[in-house]
Amino acid sequence: MVGLITQRFPLFIVSYFILQILIRLATTNIAVLDESEQIMLTQYFSLGYNEQPPLYTWLQMGVFKLTGTSIFGLSLLKNALLCLTYLMTYQLGMLFMNDKLKASLGALSLFLFPQMVWDAQIDQTHTVFLTAATSMTVYLFFYIAKKEKITVWNFALFGISAGIGLLAKYNFILVLVALGSVALLIPEYRKRFYTKPLFLSIIIAFCMVLPHFLWFISHLDVATNRTVERMNAGHTGSHLINFLKGSSDLIISTLIASLAPFFLFFYLFFKKNFIWSPSRENRALIGYVAIIFAFLFIMVAISGTTHIKERWLQPYVVLVPLFFFLHVKDIDVKSARLFVLISLVAPLIVALVVLVRPWLIDMRGKPSRTNYPFDQLRVLLKEQFPTIKHNLMVAEDKYLGGNLKLFFPHATVITPSLPNQPYTLGNEIFLFWESEKPITFLENLTLQGYACTEYRQEVTFQKSKKLFYDLNTIQCVLNP
C-alpha cells in the first residue's frame, strides 16, 4: 500500500479528498461558521463583501449553481482546494527532485500539520483558498525559473495565479513580495524574471484585481475594521511589550504549533541521510521563507499585534517539508514506509473524531456545531409558519442565518454581522435569535404597520437525549 501511495500519489490524494466529502455528507447536514457566512454571502453578487476578498464567494456561488445550496457544494469546493494544495506541493517536489518518493513524502508531510489536517478540514474557507493559491503560484514561479524553454503563456499563467491569490486573501501580497525579492537576489532568477514578459503577468493580475480594489477603497471601513480589531486585541500600554508578546507568539505558532510534529518524525527517520546541499533551489526556498517572516515581524512591530493564530501562517509553511527532503540522500524503504504510515495516522484520527464526535454530545455535556437541530426546526417552523420559506428572515448571527438559508433556500436571510446585504420588505418578516434579539438591526426599517408576535421553539440537539436547543422567533405581519 505504501508503494502505491508514493508511486501514484496524485491518484491517492484525489481519492482521499473524495472520501473526505463522503465522510462530511455522512456525518452532518449542518454548515459550520465560515461555511454559514458563505451561504449568506452567495445570495447576491458584489465586488466585495467584508474584510475578505470576494473570489471564494464567487467560486462558491458558481458551485451552488451546479449543486444547489447544499453541504455537498460547500464540501466540494473546500476539498477541491485542499486537494490542489497537496497536488501542487507534490508537483513542486517533482520539479525540484524528479523523485516520486521524495515528492510524495514532502506532500504527505502536510498531514502532520495540525492546521492542515484538522482546522482546514473542519472550518476554514479563505485560508484554504490562500494556501492553494500560494502553492500554485510558487510552483509556477519555480517552473519559470527552472525550465529551459519558457513561453509567454507561462508568464500569463503566473499572472492569473497571482491575481487569484490577491483575490483569495489580502496577505497573499507577502507571497508576491517574497517571490519578487528572491527573483531579484538570485542572478539566474533575475535574468529569467525581470524581462518584458513579466509585464504581462503584472497587467493580468492588475486587471483581475482592479474591480475589487475600486470597491475596497470606497468601502475602507467595511474592508478593514474587523481586521484592525483582531490586530488590536490583547494590546498593552507598552509598544515594546506588545512587540515581544507578538514576536514570541509568532515563533511559538510557527515552530511548535505548526511544524513540531513534522520536525519530530523527520528527525527520527531521516536524520542519518540529511546532508546539507547549498543548491540554488535551497537558497531560493530559504530566502522565500526568511523574507516572509521578516515582513511578519515588521508587521507585528508596526501593528502591535500580540496574538498570532496558527492558521495565519499555514500558507507560508507548507513548503518547509520539501526544503528538508531536498537534503535527504538515499531514502531507505523502511524509513519511508514508517513515515508514510505515521503521516496517515493523523487524518485517520481526524476522520474517526468527525464520525464519532456528534454521538458524544451527552457524554461531553455540550453540543458541537454538528449537533444543532436545524433539520427538526425546519419541520417545526414550516408547520407553525406555512409561508415562511418565501419571506425575509433576520438572524442573530451568520451561523444561525447561514443554516436558516441552507434549510430555507428560497428565503432571503440577513444578519447584523454582515454589512450591505440587499433585501426587500414583504408582507412578513421573521426574526430569529438564541441570546440577542436582532430587532435593533431593523431600527432603520419602517416596521410601522406590522403586527409582531414572539414565539419560542425548543427541540433536542441531534444525537442527544437530554440537551435542548432554544430558538426564539418574532413573526411580523403587515397589517392589511
87-101, 123-137, 165-179, 237-251: the lowest-pLDDT one: 237-251
Domain contains 367: no
What order of strands is seen across the sheet that includes strand 428-433?
A: 412-414, 392-395, 428-433, 468-478, 450-460
Model confidence at 254, pLDDT cuts 50, 70, 90, reads low
Domain contains 366: no
- Confidence at residue 416, expressed as pLDDT on a 0 to 100 scale: 86
How far apart are alpha carbons 350 and 11 in whole angstroms?
21
Model confidence at 301, pLDDT cuts 50, 70, 90, reads confident
Parallel, antiparallel or unpaired: strands 468-478 and 428-433:
antiparallel
The CA angle 170-284-110, to the nearest 5 degrees, is 65
- Confidence at residue 441, expressed as pLDDT on a 0 to 100 scale: 64
Number of Cβ within 10 Å of residue 409's Cβ equals 15
Percentage of the chain modeled with pLDDT above 70: 91
pLDDT, one tens digit per residue, over 368-422 is 888 899 989 999 999 899 888 888 999 999 999 999 999 999 999 999 888 888 8
- Domain limits at 256? 2-356
Residues 143 and 285 occupy one common structural domain: yes
How far apart are alpha carbons 32 and 19 in whole angstroms?
19
Please report, as a single letter, which amino acid is at residue 288. Y
Residues 88 and 225 occupy one common structural domain: yes
Res. 241: pLDDT tops 80: no
Res. 234: pLDDT tops 60: no
Res. 359: pLDDT tops 90: no
How far apart are alpha carbons 316 and 176 in whole angstroms?
12
Q: Averaged over 358-371, what is the pLDDT?
A: 86
Res. 116: pLDDT tops 80: yes
How far apart are alpha carbons 424 and 426 in whole angstroms?
6
Nearest Cα residue to 320 out of 274, 259, 253, 257: 259
Res. 10: pLDDT tops 90: yes
Domain contains 388: yes
Q: Averaged over 49-74, what is the pLDDT?
A: 95
The residues, any chain, with a CB within 8 Å of residue 312's CB and separated by 6 or more, are 127, 171, 253
392 membership: H or E segment, kind and range:
strand 392-395
266-270, 344-348, 424-428: the lowest-pLDDT one: 424-428
CB 393 within 8 A of CB 474: no
Model confidence at 306, pLDDT cuts 50, 70, 90, reads low
How far apart are alpha carbons 358 and 372 in whole angstroms?
10
Domain boundary among 356, 380, 400: 356
Number of Cβ within 10 Å of residue 30's Cβ equals 23
Residues 377 and 436 occupy one common structural domain: yes
Q: Averaged over 63-87, what is the pLDDT?
A: 96
Q: Averaged over 229-243, what is the pLDDT?
A: 61
Residues 132 and 158 occupy one common structural domain: yes
Residues 352 and 389 occupy one common structural domain: no
Q: Averaged over 93-97, what is the pLDDT?
A: 93
Domain contains 363: no
Q: Averaged over 206-215, what is the pLDDT?
A: 96
The residues, any chain, with a CB within 8 Å of residue 222's CB and separated by 6 or more, are 48, 50, 51, 419, 420
- Confidence at residue 304, expressed as pLDDT on a 0 to 100 scale: 66
- Confidence at residue 214, expressed as pLDDT on a 0 to 100 scale: 95
Residues 220 and 324 occupy one common structural domain: yes
Model confidence at 480, pLDDT cuts 50, 70, 90, reads confident
Nearest Cα residue to 214 out of 204, 203, 206: 206
- Confidence at residue 407, expressed as pLDDT on a 0 to 100 scale: 92
- Confidence at residue 52, expressed as pLDDT on a 0 to 100 scale: 92
- Rounded to 10°, the helix 9-27/333-356 angle is 20
Residues 115 and 78 occupy one common structural domain: yes
Number of structural domains in the chain? 2
Domain boundary among 356, 388, 415: 356
b/e per residue 55-94 (b: at least 16 CB within 10 A): bbbbbbbebbeeeebbbbbbbbbbbbbbbbbbbbbbbbbb
Model confidence at 300, pLDDT cuts 50, 70, 90, reads confident
Residues 161 and 21 occupy one common structural domain: yes
- Bridge partner residues of 200 (DSSP): none
Q: Averaged over 165-190, what is the pLDDT?
A: 94
Nearest Cα residue to 82 out of 137, 22, 130: 130
**More confidently predicted of 34 and 119:** 34
Res. 440: pLDDT tops 80: no
Domain contains 365: no
Nearest Cα residue to 97 out of 88, 85, 106, 86: 106
The residues, any chain, with a CB within 8 Å of residue 285's CB and separated by 6 or more, are 319, 322, 323, 326
C-alpha cell at 129: 483558498
Residues 420 and 345 occupy one common structural domain: no
191 membership: H or E segment, kind and range:
helix 187-193
**More confidently predicted of 311 and 421:** 421
Please report, as a single letter, which amino acid is at residue 368. S
Mean predicted lDDT score pLDDT of the chain: 87
Model confidence at 356, pLDDT cuts 50, 70, 90, reads confident
pLDDT, one tens digit per residue, over 317-334 is 888 999 899 888 888 888
Highest mean pLDDT among 59-68, 147-156, 270-279, 453-462: 59-68
Q: Averaged over 156-182, what is the pLDDT?
A: 95
The residues, any chain, with a CB within 8 Å of residue 266's CB and separated by 6 or more, are 109, 321, 324, 339
Domain contains 328: yes
Domain contains 102: yes
How far apart are alpha carbons 355 and 114 in whole angstroms?
18
- Confidence at residue 131, expressed as pLDDT on a 0 to 100 scale: 95
Highest mean pLDDT among 2-16, 71-85, 299-313, 455-469: 71-85
Residues 167 and 62 occupy one common structural domain: yes
Res. 459: pLDDT tops 80: yes
Res. 237: pLDDT tops 60: no
Residues 167 and 93 occupy one common structural domain: yes
Domain contains 98: yes
Q: How far is CA 411 from the centre of its chain?
A: 27
Residues 90 and 40 occupy one common structural domain: yes
413 membership: H or E segment, kind and range:
strand 412-414
